[in-house]
Structure 1
Amino acid sequence: MTDRRERRTRVRAAAAAALVTMMVTVLGVAPATAASGVSAQTVLDTLAVASESSTSPDDDAFLRWDEPDGTGCTVLDDVLVAESTTATDGGCPVTSGSWTSPWDGEVRTAAADMSVVHLVPIDEAWKSGADTWSALLRERYAMETEWDPTLVAVTTEAADARAGADPGTWMPEGDAASCAYVGDWLTVKLRWDLAVDPLEHAAIQNMLSGPCDGLTLEEPPNAPGPGYWFRDVDYYHPYTTHISWMATAGISQGYGASGWYAPRNDVNRGQMATFLYKVAGAPEYDAPAASAFDDVPTSHVFYPHISWLADEGITQGYGNGDFGPSDEVTRGQMAAFLYKLAGAPAHTPPAVSPFPDVPTSHTFYQHISWLAGTGITSGHADGDFKPNGLVTRGQMAVFLFKFSATVAS
């Protein structure tokens, strides 16, 4: 319990230190040495930026998080005990203690005046990526106790004022409270690989460029488990097996020394070329002195891999002289890349498409139907393939893992 209070105190102290640094810098005084930890700006830059899902979770999408365990206490009781600055009444449900609400600074001694809430509300989590989670992962989020900021005790008034809003539309009053809130928000989103929407991103960026400039955060832990490689892909991540395989197979080491894989970020065509080259075994290859594509200079970081793709006949680019290395890869394009990487095997597309949104006349129908026939994909849960949809780094890991297991082997 003490660890929880100490950790939350350190986060708030870091936010206060950032404010002091900003003020003394404005006054011409040398800023204090930055606190150890990860930069809040770095965390924000790592998070995927995406529009929120238009759906909302059903009542039973997240398992109940307020049911008593074998001791008769609930997760809510555990949080109230941990957050109280004095000993609580010793029983469950907790009825009394002393709590200082971090969002409004109010002190309460009656548990009935406090609300235990998810810092990132369940509805917000759902719309930011949790809609794709398994029931197990949703349960783990709902009852999270390993990373303290996930669940927080605040006054009922503060909880009602915030409701389900994200930082794009609500923050606590006062720079110190807002910076602490933004810091906690970022660590929870990082730990759970949740995206930020454009308005939310802009509001947080505004804080990090202003009163929270220089804010450092304690990095959230990842649950231990076999095959863990990246700090944003823990044992319970739905793509842990596939992403860990990417690392052990030498196909991806994530974003270098940062330790992050960023599974929700979209894959661009240059990155795709590198992935395919490595899946093929990274064969010896001397890239030509002249590029085959106008928009891929020989100095481009992915030039050898893109050039190899062209020489192998896996791609001819867009047909206008460009390859589009920074363009995001669509699912249809990915199907074509994988089909050609497999050697363009003999395949007679079925007369009836396996996907209602991929007609037999579709440009990539042969490649997509081949992908389905090999078992590499079964499409989305709604039965569609979504050929124009973009491919995230997490999804790419799944496709390449299955490709390697069913084709490359």
Structure 2
Amino acid sequence: MTTEDDKPTTPTASAADAAAPGAPAGGSGTTLSDAVALLPVGEESRTGYERNSFRHWIDEDGDGCDTRREVLLAEAVTKPEQGPRCTLTGGSWVSYYDEVEVTDAKKLDIDHMVPLAEAWDSGASQWTAERREQYANDLGSERSLVAVTAKTNRSKSDKDPAQWLPPAASAQCTYASDWVATKLRWKLTIDTQEKTALEKLAGECEDTVVEYELAP
């Protein structure tokens, strides 16, 4: 995952739950260009951010598999064998950022599509700790969390699409769609440079659509 001091303010319920301006309840088949236009522009601030502000890799359903392993199981091309305490052996995955096949789960990172620090900058600083935990372990959308090679994940770090795109050209339209969908799902803002980069991608990805549901 990306490695990302004023304490964050405690949000009111309305601040935590209010929809971003212009963000509808959900979208199916929205063009990338139209979806980018739904995202409100805001100023980003890293003030008060700490990675442990987002508790992650929890076992939400109590089945012995934490969020990391749940993603690995869901995204496996060849399913790994599952042992005690959700120990995974074998299996294969394709890291879509760089189109690399991986046969050792230890060589994969689970990437937050919108990194934790970027989420903080874009609105999560105003969330409750519980809401940030939900974000960090979001299994409700298949692209909120993705299994990718450690190399590409660490290259990405906490960068937005104005600063980093997947090295595989074939992945970039999908990545833009996934990024925008995640920001809409969690009612996050974008900054001006990010908006410019996403608009450019939308122009290059005319057939790309965005589907999302607001996080509960």
TM-score in same-fold range (> 0.5):
yes
Structure 2 matches for 1:231-270, cutoff 5 A?
A: 235=216
Kept after mapping to 2: 8 A contact 1:95/1:112: no
Q: Distance in 2 between matches of 1:56 and 1:120?
A: 18
Q: 1:54 to 1:143 in 2, by over 3 A?
A: closer
Kept after mapping to 2: 8 A contact 1:56/1:127: no
Q: How many residues align?
A: 186
2:38 pairs with 46, 57, 71, which one?
46
Q: Which amino acid aligns with 1:66?
A: W
Rg: which structure is higher? 1
Q: Does 1:66 align with 2:57?
A: yes
Q: Which amino acid aligns with 1:161?
A: S
Kept after mapping to 2: 8 A contact 1:103/1:154: yes
Corresponding position of 1:107: 101
Kept after mapping to 1: 8 A contact 2:31/2:206: no
1:80 pairs with 72, 77, 86, which one?
72
Q: Does 1:134 align with 2:125?
A: no
Q: Which amino acid aligns with 2:54?
A: F
Q: Does 1:221 align with 2:199?
A: no
Corresponding position of 1:402: none
| Residues 113-148 of structure 1, C-alpha deviations (whole Å, 9 max, x = no match) | 111110100000000110011122111101100011
Counterpart secondary structure, 2:81: coil
* TM-aligned CA deviation for residue 41 of structure 1: 1.0
Q: Does 1:206 align with 2:200?
A: yes
Q: Distance in 1 between matches of 2:58 and 2:133?
A: 12
* TM-aligned CA deviation for residue 87 of structure 1: 1.6
Q: Distance in 2 between matches of 1:59 and 1:122?
A: 7
Task: Flag structure 2 segments of 5+ consecutive residues without an equivalent.
Answer: 1-27
Counterpart secondary structure, 1:97: coil
Counterpart secondary structure, 2:82: coil
Q: Distance in 1 between matches of 2:72 and 2:185?
A: 22
* TM-aligned CA deviation for residue 56 of structure 1: 4.5
RMSD between aligned residues: 1.6
* TM-aligned CA deviation for residue 203 of structure 1: 0.8
Q: Distance in 2 between matches of 1:168 and 1:93?
A: 37
* TM-aligned CA deviation for residue 94 of structure 1: 2.2
Kept after mapping to 2: 8 A contact 1:191/1:222: yes
Q: Distance in 2 between matches of 1:102 and 1:66?
A: 22
* TM-aligned CA deviation for residue 72 of structure 1: 2.1
Q: Distance in 1 between matches of 2:123 and 2:87?
A: 33
Q: Which is worse superposed, 43-52 or 66-75?
A: 66-75
Q: Distance in 1 between matches of 2:206 and 2:166?
A: 17
2:174 pairs with 177, 180, 194, which one?
180
Q: Which amino acid aligns with 1:109?
A: T
Corresponding position of 2:6: none
* TM-aligned CA deviation for residue 43 of structure 1: 1.0
Kept after mapping to 1: 8 A contact 2:58/2:137: no
TM-score by length of 1: 0.44
Q: Does 1:97 align with 2:91?
A: yes
Q: Distance in 1 between matches of 2:148 and 2:123?
A: 25
Higher strand fraction (1 or 2): 2
Counterpart secondary structure, 1:120: coil
Q: Distance in 1 between matches of 2:87 and 2:136?
A: 19
Counterpart secondary structure, 1:148: coil
Kept after mapping to 2: 8 A contact 1:56/1:123: no
Q: Does 1:191 align with 2:193?
A: no
Corresponding position of 2:7: none
Q: Which amino acid aligns with 2:82?
A: G
Q: Which amino acid aligns with 1:38?
A: T
| Residues 174-233 of structure 1, C-alpha deviations (whole Å, 9 max, x = no match) | 4321111001000000000111111111111111112x1232122x1235xxxxxxxxxx
TM-score by length of 2: 0.81
Task: Flag structure 1 segments of 5+ consecutive residues without an equivalent.
Answer: 1-35, 224-234, 236-409
Q: Distance in 2 between matches of 1:157 and 1:54?
A: 25
